[in-house]
Amino acid sequence: MPADMLKKDFTQEDTWRVFRIMAEFVEGFQDLAHIEPAIAVFGSARTKPSDPAYKLTVRLARGLASEGFTVVTGGGPGLMEAANKGAKEAGGLSVGLNIALPFEQQPNPYAQLQMHFRYFFCRKVMFVKYASGFVIMPGGYGTMDELFESLTLIQTQRIKPFPVVLMGRSYWGGLAKWLRGTMLKSGCISPEDLDLFTVTDSVDVAVKKMVDFRKAGETDRAIES
């Protein structure tokens, strides 16, 4: 073995990263095993408390927590903070899955259970594994990433379908129109793929989607037993 290889710090090699990745999975599975039923709420880290979207997210999280759902977010500021705040104020469990970033991502004070991740893909697994639904508030690239990953996993049947709700017609309406008028029209998706999500302005509609899905699951389990 070359002398320079002997001098290399083992903790900087890819094989060592496997252990760090494994540790994040183990910690996540252990700490989050008790949080179900849970709803993941995604949205911009840049939204200020004075923004109507912030107030809407607080109301949404209150409604979810009042129905017995744990509210899970990315743990940062903006609309993540709003969701954690609303859940905590309603007496529900408020969870933040933080990610180490060079900017923006500082833990908010409203998540009662805080976890910290180095790897995005480890954190994504936790959202999908423990959430019974996704609510997508206005957001940027990170929010879009979570939205389309969930739709892809549902579309390809890699996970069991769950409700995906896009809150804010004025924000998401243009995207929905483009999916229908461009992506569907070009044959890149099927008509039924547009049924994988719901666009609404109503907190009541969003919460009801989650409640109805939970009730349907309870009915299915009762039949199976």
Output the pLDDT for position 107: 87
Output the pLDDT for position 164: 98
Q: Check if the beta carbon of residue 165 is closer than 8 Å to that of residue 198.
A: yes
pLDDT at 180 over 80: yes
Q: Which two tokens stand for residue 31?
A: 């700490």
> Helix, strand, or coil here: 92?
coil
Output the pLDDT for position 2: 47
More confident residue, 84 or 220: 84
Residues 124, 42: Cα–Cα separation, whole Å: 12
pLDDT at 102 over 80: no
DSSP H helices, 131-224, are 141-155, 169-178, 203-224
Tell me the mean pLDDT in the region 63-72: 98
Class of the CATH-defined domain 3-224 = alpha beta
Tell me the mean pLDDT in the region 161-166: 98
pLDDT in tens, 22-59: 999 999 999 999 999 999 999 999 999 999 999 999 99
What's the angle, vertex CA 225, arms to CA 157 and CA 195, rounded to 5?
A: 30
Output the pLDDT for position 55: 98
Q: Which two tokens stand for residue 27?
A: 């910690």
Q: Check if the beta carbon of residue 131 is closer than 8 Å to that of residue 165.
A: no
Output the pLDDT for position 178: 98
pLDDT at 6 over 60: no
User: How many residues are given for the chain?
Assistant: 225
